[in-house]
Amino acid sequence: MPKVVFHHSGDAGTVVDADPGSNVMRAAVQNGVAGIVGECGGQAMCATCHVYVREPYLGALPPVSEDEEEMLDCTAAPRDDRRSRLGCQLTLGGDLEEVEVDVPEAQL
């Protein structure tokens, strides 16, 4: 079962199990992880599921789509050119059985 580790302010992390085919945003919302809102339900429309992916996992991520790209310019916390992604676009399973992310200070 895929798993996601959410770090808040550099803490040791909260581990969440997720269904294959789910995504980082959904895993957070379903498990009540603080700091991930996911207002638009996963359409890359609201930029409230912004995460910073930790370095070791960057190579396993899907490419950034055009919709995600423009939305990453609308995040409340500063964009990190390498690590910023929308959680809703990070589908779990396959190459991404496990991922660790830092949750930004703000989503709104």
Partner 1 sequence: MTVDTTEARPIPTADWVTIPDLYADPYPIYQRLRAQAPIHWIPAVNRHLVIGYEACHAIELDQQRFSADEAQSLMKRSMGHSMLRKDDPEHDAERKAYGGVLRPKAIKQRWEAVFDRNYATYAARLRAAGPGADLVAEFAAPYAAENLRAILGFANATQQDLQRWSQTLIDGTGNYADDPDVWAAAERSSREVDEAIDEMLPALRAAPDGSLLSVLGTSGMPLDALRANVKMTIGGGLNEPRDALATTVWALLSHPEQLASVRAADRWSDAFEESIRWIAPISMYPREATRDTELCGMAIPRGARLGVAVGAANRDPAVFTDPEAYDVDRPRKPHLAFGGGNHFCAGAWIARASVVTIALPRLFTRFPGLRLAPSRPATVGGWVFRGVLSLPVHWD
Distance (Å, rounded) from C-alpha 17 to C-alpha 83? 22
Task: Work out how close the CB of 6 gets to partner 1 at its nearest, in angstroms, rounded to a whole number.
Answer: 18
User: Do the strands 3-8 and 98-103 form a parallel or antiparallel pair, or are they unpaired?
Assistant: parallel
Beta strands in the chain (DSSP E): 3-8, 14-17, 50-53, 84-86, 98-103
> Which residue in the block uniquely carries the two structure tokens 């991404």?
96
Task: Work out how close the CB of 93 gets to partner 1 at its nearest, in angstroms, rounded to a whole number.
Answer: 21
Residue numbers 53-92 binding partner 1 by CB under 8 A: 66-67, 70-71, 73-74
Interface mask toward partner 1 for 10-49; x: CB under 8 A: -------------------x-------x-xxx-x-xx-x-
Distance (Å, rounded) from C-alpha 35 to C-alpha 107? 7
Task: Work out how close the CB of 108 gets to partner 1 at its nearest, in angstroms, rounded to a whole number.
Answer: 4
Q: Which residues bind partner 1 (CB under 8 A)?
A: 29, 37, 39-41, 43, 45-46, 48, 66-67, 70-71, 73-74, 106, 108
